Amino acid sequence: MFELCSLASIPLFTDRRLFMTTPPPLTLPMTAQAILAAWVFATVLIGFVGIIWKRNLIMKILSMDVMSTGVIAFYVLVAARGGFLAPIVTGTQAGAYADPVPQAVILTAIVIGFSIQALMLVGVMKLSRDNPTLETSEIEQSNTP
Amino acid sequence: MNTPTIIWIALPLFIGFSSYLLPRSNRFFALGMALVSMAYGLWHIVAPTPLTIELIDNFGVTLVVDGLSGYFVLTNALVTAAVVLYCWQKNKSKFFYTQTVILHGSVNAVFICADLISLYVALEVIGIAAFLLMAYPRSDRAIWVGLRYLFVSNTAMLFYLMGAALVYQTTGVFAFTAVQNAPPAAIALLMIGLFTKGGIFASGLWLPLTHAEADTPVSAMLSGAVVKTGVFPLVRLALMTDNVAPAVQLFSMGTAFLGVTYAIFEKDTKRMLASSTISQMGFVLANPAVAGFYALTHGLAKAVLFLLAGNLPSRKFQMLQRTPMMRWQWLAMTIAALSISGMPLLSGFEAKALTVQDLPPTITWAMNLAALGTAIAFAKFIFLPFQRPDKSEKRGAQLGFGCAIGLLLGGLVLASGQHLETYSVSKVLMALGTLASGWAIYGFWLRRGLPKLPTGIERFEHLIGGMSLMLLLLLGMVAA
């Protein structure tokens, strides 16, 4: 596609035998896609429920991470609709390749997501000095006017 | 045309980080950045030739600058400039100015976004910068309030991301225009993210605590400019597509009523202002075509009120009724409160008149009723006692504060007179009638005090759980 052209200079990616010897890449059948999508949505839901259910603030943050894992997986799934070969310009027709746009987008979101998580955990460290159990309801009660 | 825009959008990040190298002059840099944005915003209001910048290739990453963006950018610029002036003599650290400038830049970025992904990035940067400003005092309460804000907004943004993926799956692009052909689920997911960021209806219940507990200049910045970053994309989407507008209009009414109810019952000055922000966001959304002007008048007035409320002897209205404030504080506060209540000759009147102009009659009446509520709520500020200034009071110490208030009120006064067509006898009488009846209701019944509204619904778990309910509600509404 576009910026990935520069990768073509790396020998691994230009080795055409890689594509010749392997059988033509498959796309996912519809049912498999639906099942995967169901698992992905289940992950998002479990994470979301965890945010409400878990009492400990750290566990809440981890639940949010589970939820964001689900969202990331959803982007990967959307990208893999047309196939899962890496989209690299090699000169020959390589077959069904994955859509690089959602992957590029979710890469940004992953970086943002983990920086926010790190920030939140620093906040939790500070809070844990006065609230060693990190029970959210307790923290909330003592810090709401 | 493209180059100034790109320089302008990158400048705050450059200034923000490099001001660490020149710690003495960072407040000058921050003020300069706000002035640059002010000029840029004014330029696009005066000469509204829409400018579109598209990323090469075909997945719809687009920036659009037009008159609407101009008003929002100008609001952000004036509020930031006022906050910097307010902090001028307060020895704020370089960290504070860095975060303020980065927040300013990312808020600007939202106002020119026309695609889902640039918007996502800008909103997340805003979340981080706002958290850092909120948690800056590093007390337990500040950290908790910041953490709660970041948690709620990040969870909402995860829903938003899923919506963006669904839009891409269906249409192959991320541009706002693609939302036209998106499935209902995608629209509901996108809207829940933006509703939460913009404090719309039940999704905005995180806002009173957050805006009230933040430091005074941070509150002014959050309520004056930052909260509009959730509203602006909704306005843009409502203008660009047909399938978002009906739900947005319906929720704008709900928001206006919910916020104003909270504001009437509130006994704490800052919480009352924050609740009123929710209600005013409803007004901004009610008529997307004139949202820019409304946002400008609200942002200026609300920033004045927050800056002043932070400097009163108490935060409780009950205490303030017994301890008079300075006369100039009362005067500035009253001008801002009158503008929000829709007093003719102030720009708030024109904004309100423009907003209800072309709406269906039922919504016009609902909005007028909400305006009555606003008049009742702000009567609490207007009828507070004041005293003559002491001779012994040092004038120089509050020069920055005075400049900030002067800038905001000056903007509020200068902005009026732009829409003289709104001045008809019936509209002026209507506005005066609303104000008078609001004050009468306040004076006769409510002055003695109202029961306290329960705040249980603002607990963290309820905020997150409420998100799922709002999502279902939105889904039902969009699919219908």
- Give B416-437 pLDDT, tens digit per residue: 888 888 899 999 999 999 999 9
Is A119 in contact with B465 (Cβ distance < 8 A)?
no
- Using a CB-CB distance cutoff of 8 angstroms, which residues of chain A are in contact with residue B174? 105
What is the average pLDDT value for chain B, to the nearest integer?
92
- Using a CB-CB distance cutoff of 8 angstroms, which residues of chain A are in contact with residue B144? 127, 139-140, 143
Nearest CA in chain A to B173: A101
What is the length of chain B?
480
The ranges assigned to domains in chain B are: 2-479
Count Cα neighbours of B187 within 13 Å in the Cβ-side half-sphere.
27
Q: Nearest CB to A74: which of B140, B148, B162?
A: B162
Instruction: Give backbone dihedrals phi and psi of B322, rounded to 5 degrees, phi first.
Output: -100, -30
Q: Nearest CB to A127: which of B143, B150, B164?
A: B143
Residue B120 at interface with chain A, using a CB cutoff of 8 Å: yes
Selected residue of A4, A30, A44, A48 to mutate for chain B interface (largest B Cβ count, 10 A): A48
Is A140 in contact with B57 (Cβ distance < 8 A)?
no
Instruction: Tell how far CA B161 is from the center of its chain.
Output: 23
Gap between the Cα atoms of B74 and B445, Å rounded: 39
The three-class DSSP label of residue B452 is coil
Q: Nearest CB to B141: which of A57, A102, A143?
A: A143
**Could you give the angle at the alpha carbon of B296 between the alpha carbons of B65 and B116, nearest 5°?**
40
- Using a CB-CB distance cutoff of 8 angstroms, which residues of chain B are in contact with residue A139? 140, 144
Count Cα neighbours of B270 within 13 Å in the Cβ-side half-sphere.
27
Is A120 in contact with B147 (Cβ distance < 8 A)?
yes
Residue B135 at interface with chain A, using a CB cutoff of 8 Å: yes
Nearest to B208 by CA among B453, B390, B411: B453
Nearest to B299 by CA among B348, B334, B260, B254: B348
List C-alpha distances in Å: B474 to B105, B182, B359, B417, B471.
Answer: 31, 15, 22, 38, 5
Selected residue of B136, B460, B463, B471 to mutate for chain A interface (largest A Cβ count, 10 A): B460
Gap between the Cα atoms of B263 and B373, Å rounded: 8
Selected residue of A33, A71, A115, A127 to mutate for chain B interface (largest B Cβ count, 10 A): A71
What is the H or E stretch that residue A87 is in?
none
Instruction: Give backbone dihedrals phi and psi of B265, rounded to 5 degrees, phi first.
Output: -80, -20
Amino acid at B344: P
Non-local (6+) Cβ contacts of A97 within 8 A are: A25, A82, A83, A84, A85, A86, A87, A88
Residue B206 at interface with chain A, using a CB cutoff of 8 Å: no
Q: Can you tell me the ipTM of this complex?
A: 0.92
Q: Are A56 and A135 in contact (CB under 8 A)?
A: yes
CA distance B90 to chain A (A): 26
Amino acid at B171: T
Nearest to B157 by CA among B132, B183, B131, B136: B131
Gap between the Cα atoms of A143 and A121, Å rounded: 18
Q: Are B61 and B118 in contact (CB under 8 A)?
A: yes
Residue B315 at interface with chain A, using a CB cutoff of 8 Å: no
Q: Are B301 and B317 in contact (CB under 8 A)?
A: no
Gap between the Cα atoms of B121 and A108, Å rounded: 8
Judge whether residue A7 has pLDDT over 70: no
pLDDT at A15: 46
- Work out the pLDDT band at B73, boundaries 50, 70, 90: very high
- Work out the pLDDT band at A87, boundaries 50, 70, 90: confident
- Tell me the pLDDT tens digit for each residue of B194-248: 999 999 999 999 999 999 999 999 999 999 999 999 999 999 999 999 889 999 9
CA distance A40 to chain B (A): 11
pLDDT at B349: 93
Gap between the Cα atoms of B148 and B141, Å rounded: 10
Nearest CA in chain B to A40: B162
Burial A52-86 (b: 16+ CB within 10 A, else e): bebeebeebbbbbbbbbbbbbbbbbbbbbeebebe
Gap between the Cα atoms of B326 and B253, Å rounded: 37
pLDDT at B86: 95
Is A144 in contact with B150 (Cβ distance < 8 A)?
no
- Tell me the pLDDT tens digit for each residue of B344-402: 989 999 999 999 988 899 999 999 999 999 999 999 999 999 988 766 566 666 889 99
Is B162 in contact with A44 (Cβ distance < 8 A)?
yes
Gap between the Cα atoms of B284 and B228, Å rounded: 9
User: A19: buried, middle or exposed (CB in 10 Å: 19+, 13-18, 0-12)?
Assistant: middle
Is A109 in contact with B120 (Cβ distance < 8 A)?
yes
Tokens of A82: 């047309």
Tokens of A61: 């943050």
- Tell me the pLDDT tens digit for each residue of B2-36: 899 999 999 999 999 888 888 888 899 999 999 99
- Tell me the pLDDT tens digit for each residue of B75-91: 999 999 999 999 998 88
Q: Nearest CB to A105: which of B117, B140, B147?
A: B117
Gap between the Cα atoms of B347 and B416, Å rounded: 4
- Work out the pLDDT band at B447, boundaries 50, 70, 90: confident
Q: Nearest CB to A123: which of B135, B141, B154?
A: B135
Q: Nearest CB to A108: which of B121, B158, B165?
A: B121
Gap between the Cα atoms of B46 and B65, Å rounded: 13
Q: Are B162 and A44 in contact (CB under 8 A)?
A: yes
Residue B24 at interface with chain A, using a CB cutoff of 8 Å: no
Q: Which is more confidently placed, B445 or B67?
A: B67
Mean pLDDT of the B115-140 span: 95
Gap between the Cα atoms of B270 and B381, Å rounded: 11
pLDDT at A129: 93
List C-alpha distances in Å: A90 to A4, A5, A94, B134.
Answer: 11, 9, 8, 51
- 3-state percent breakdown (helix, strand, coil) of chain A, nearest 5: 70, 5, 25
Is A119 in contact with B150 (Cβ distance < 8 A)?
yes
CA distance A17 to chain B (A): 30
Give the CATH number of domain A28-143; options: 1.10.287.3510, 1.10.101.10, 3.30.70.790, 1.10.3300.10.
Answer: 1.10.287.3510
Instruction: Give backbone dihedrals phi and psi of B440, rounded to 5 degrees, phi first.
Output: -65, -45
- Using a CB-CB distance cutoff of 8 angstroms, which residues of chain A are in contact with residue B168? 78, 101-102, 105
Is A51 in contact with B59 (Cβ distance < 8 A)?
no
**Could you give the angle at the alpha carbon of B345 between the alpha carbons of B340 and B350, nearest 5°?**
60
In this structure, the number of other CB atoms found within 10 A of the CB of residue B306 comes to 29
Judge whether residue B253 has pLDDT over 60: yes
Q: Are B110 and B233 in contact (CB under 8 A)?
A: yes
